[in-house]
Amino acid sequence: MIEKGTMVNNRYEVQGLIGSGGTSEVYMVIDRHIGRSLAMKVMDKRAVGALGFARSEIESLRRVKYPLFPAINDAFCENGRICIVSEYVKGESLWKICRKKGLSRDTALALAQRICEALVYLHTLKRPILYLDMKPENIIVDDAHLPHLIDFGIAGWLATRHIPVGTRGYSPPEQYSFRTPPDERADIFAFGMTYYAIRHGVPPDPDAAGALEDIRHSHILSSSERSFLEKCCALSKEDRFENTQAVLGQIRRIRSHPDRIRKITQITAVTTGIILMAAFCSEKLAQRLRENDAAASLVREATGHMADGEYTPEGIGIIKAWINSGSLSEECEQEFIFEVGVYSMLVAKDYKTAASYFDRLDRKIYPEAEDYGKLCRMQAQFSFDADEAISLTGKMFADIAKRSPSREKYENLIFIANCFENYEPDKKEGTKKALSVLDMARNEIKEHSSGELEDMKQRIDELIRVKQKRLKIRKKMVGGNNEKKISDK
């Protein structure tokens, strides 16, 4: 162990031990040349395979240019030690965060999407990299709740030499037998087991068959999560998802179409029989299915009252009645509380009502809710400052634009577009900004969605059509007085 205060390579001052494993120790160091905190992995040069491990990790880190992997800064040998210096990720181990208590469905899915995006990056490099040691202990979650994958390179080096590698419970059966070389489906298996672990707060069964049975009979996972993990963690790699792009697409579908919203036509006679049995055996399951039914009814009824991509007063009235009925699941209720808040603020101009609905939003799902309420209160003031409102809208747009594709993201972007159009003193410029935001949203859906957000794309297309028509009218108008005569519709 290296003592605190030791200078390594006449540059790196050791601050303390971060962690240790079977082959290495990791220290936090300060680079005295630039005054920056970094992580330094140290291996005994004489240990079996140490040079191979180091070369593999250095090569991998040099090739990887992705924000969720630590960037390499330096590598050298000193006093019989191999040292690899890389970016220090401030945060906590995902295992420490989820251990015993587990994570909520929404939190786990959000993290899983980011982790899967990182795997897609590795697997689609010109010379693909297999991670081969995915588990919560190898993931650091930073202060912005982003997961960073650490400690890779060793597994890949071992795998190329047909040496059993990985962690029992997380790694697939073929990773130990080496009848066939591991491919990206090995990472898919480990990814699935990692998701199981962070949802339950316990590691998966070391026996792969036992772990798969635990997934099938889990009372914590939703039906969509169970089906998803059964395919990720199939014992035969031929039965798993073909690649990580397919896994990522499925995660996005689960996040965009939660179990609570289903079309009634999807409930077959067999499903009806299951519902009847559930009413006898499990009141909780029956209640969940009733919530799905209520949500589906609301979606059908409310979306029948839309014009130009926005809800009509009749549609909002229907939504309010459903919210007050108590028939909706909490998550579904949140989505429609947001819609009522937006309508009240930007269409009805009822800022007090809008603020009251925004105050009811869960800050974990809609972190901008406080800013929305602030905009409402600003708008209600006699001395309303449009410049301040535009500045706040721009700040929210910058935050929201960086998020991963999801229904909530595009609901927020529609709101932001309407804010730009409402608050920009130059109405023509405001409409241009609104169109720019909506174009970005539409193009992102086209690029990243596999059809699960088609209804959202259609709504955005309709809004773009309306605003393009409005912009043409505004371009023809001359002078500020004429501009004011133009209807917002």
Q: How far apart are the first and last CA of the chain?
A: 70
Look at residue 17 and give its three-state secondary structure.
Answer: strand
Q: What is the per-residue pLDDT for 472?
A: 81
Q: How far apart are CA 119 and CA 134, in angstroms?
A: 10
Q: Residue 133's closest CA among 112, 121, 119?
A: 119
CB atoms within 10 A of CB 66: 14
Q: Helices in 282-406 by DSSP H: which ranges?
A: 283-303, 313-325, 330-346, 351-358, 369-380, 386-401
- Name the token pair of 448: 């990243």
Confidence of residue 168 (pLDDT cuts 50, 70, 90): confident
Residue range 95-124: mean pLDDT, rounded = 92
Locate the domains of the chain by residue range. 7-87, 91-256, 283-484
Tens-place pLDDT, residues 255-302: 876 544 333 323 333 333 333 333 333 343 334 434 445 555 555 555
Confidence of residue 198 (pLDDT cuts 50, 70, 90): very high
Q: How far apart are CA 92 and CA 333, in angstroms?
A: 32
Do the domains spanning 7-87 and 91-256 agree at the CATH topology level? no
Q: Which CATH class is domain 7-87?
A: alpha beta
Helix (H) or strand (E) holding 74: strand 72-78
- What sign does the CA torsion over 112, 415, 369, 144 have? positive
Please identify which residue in the block is written with the tokens 């960086």.
Answer: 402
Question: Is pLDDT of 63 > 70?
Answer: yes
- Name the token pair of 240: 């798993």
Residue range 26-33: mean pLDDT, rounded = 94
Least confident residue range of 163-167, 185-189, 300-304: 300-304
User: CB–CB of 77/45 below 8 Å?
Assistant: yes
Q: What is the per-residue pLDDT for 298?
A: 55
Q: What is the per-residue pLDDT for 333?
A: 79
Question: Is pLDDT of 341 > 50?
Answer: yes
Residue range 180-198: mean pLDDT, rounded = 92
Higher pLDDT, 341 or 280: 341
Confidence of residue 22 (pLDDT cuts 50, 70, 90): low
Tens-place pLDDT, residues 430-442: 888 889 989 988 8
β-bridge partners, 31: 12, 36
6-29 burial by CB neighbour count: b if 16+ within 10 A, else e? eebeeebebbeebeeeeebbbbbb
HSE value, Cβ hemisphere, 13 Å, CA-based, for 250: 20
Q: Residue 354's closest CA among 381, 372, 378, 330?
A: 372
Q: How far apart are CA 294 and CA 17, in angstroms?
A: 54
Q: What is the per-residue pLDDT for 303?
A: 57
In the chain, the amino acid numbered 212 is L
Q: Which residues contact 386 (CB under 8 A, 6 or more apart)?
A: 423, 424, 425
Question: Of how many residues is the chain composed?
Answer: 489
Q: Which CATH class is domain 91-256?
A: mainly alpha
Confidence of residue 161 (pLDDT cuts 50, 70, 90): low
Q: Helices in 131-222 by DSSP H: which ranges?
A: 154-160, 174-177, 184-200, 208-216
Q: How far apart are CA 209 and CA 204, in angstroms?
A: 10
Looking at the chain, the whole-number percentage of residues with pLDDT higher than 70 is 78
Please identify which residue in the block is written with the tokens 């809208």.
Answer: 393
User: CB–CB of 456/339 below 8 Å?
Assistant: no
Look at residue 10 and give its three-state secondary structure.
Answer: coil
Q: What is the per-residue pLDDT for 118?
A: 92
